[in-house]
Structure 1
């Protein structure tokens, strides 16, 4: 099977981590999630203002190493602008891996807001994001130009969404 980089993208609370975990269990692939990486940096004493891009760099380095070893990877990150997106494209070219992008959206704003207000991710050292922060991120989020599957996670069960993603990856 050809190596793949599977990028899960979308705003906080859009369902990308849940989908990434389901894909990881089903496909036996590692997930590199930017939030736990960044939280580990904070716990190690790095200043919060310097860790955002660095967390992506760590995810890129881990992905690069796994791809070098012949393993596919799953990326769980907002990927709000083209710079991190370009890094995944470059890794795919470097390792001759397929690049599959799944953009998670929660089209029902009431559902999205409720998810944010009740979620507890238990990432040590990382506070939960607020709805106002999601709105700020949404204002900065650039449209993707790459081919991708867009999944509206406000409809369907987690199992149905996982099935849609798996069909896209085939």
Structure 2
């Protein structure tokens, strides 16, 4: 088992399209640094299981994740936010949260530069989040069209060209 390294209070935001590898990297970072992850998909799925309409939960899931991150940062704990973050509104909230708590903000954008690999990942994907259906290739293409380019400084990792161990090493180097 890898040695757990300490990190000054930091908000690590993982962003990218579904199946880009962000959740796998978030889990690896969580294990390596012993950090909490707030992830949109399990939060949203829990809302659906509780009976909330799917039309009501998209923004609400981000609000819950941001509230959880806010609480961890208030306690001076680092936290990982795992979310697509496709547009400026949620990105601004993460920036504001880091500024509010005077913590470092580290953004990691995961991409899969190999379209055939991305499609294969989508079609084979089974995350076992109760109540959360897997995204279709057609829906991923829609999401890609809606995804706005980031303007913030960030680490961009192409998960199709690097091993998981190398991705983790690059991410750890960046967040430290």
State the TM-score, normalized to the length of structure 1: 0.99
- Deviation beyond 2 Å, 4+ runs, structure 1: none
Is there any run of 5+ residues in structure 2 with no aligned partner, and where?
1-6
Matches of 1:15 and 1:156 in 2, distance apart? Answer: 11
User: What does residue 18 of structure 2 align with?
Assistant: 12
RMSD value over aligned CA atoms?
0.6
State the match for 1:105 in structure 2.
Answer: 111
Task: Give, in whole Å, the separation in 1 of the partners of 2:71 and 2:130.
Answer: 26
Q: How does 1:1-170 map to 2 (within 5 A)?
A: 1-170=7-176
| Alignment partners' CA distance in 1, 2:62 and 2:25 | 19
TM-score (norm 2): 0.95
Report the Cα offset of residue 58 of structure 1: 0.1
Shift in Å at residue 2 of structure 1?
2.7
Distance 1:166 1:66 in 2: 20
Q: Which runs of 5+ in 1 are unaligned?
A: none
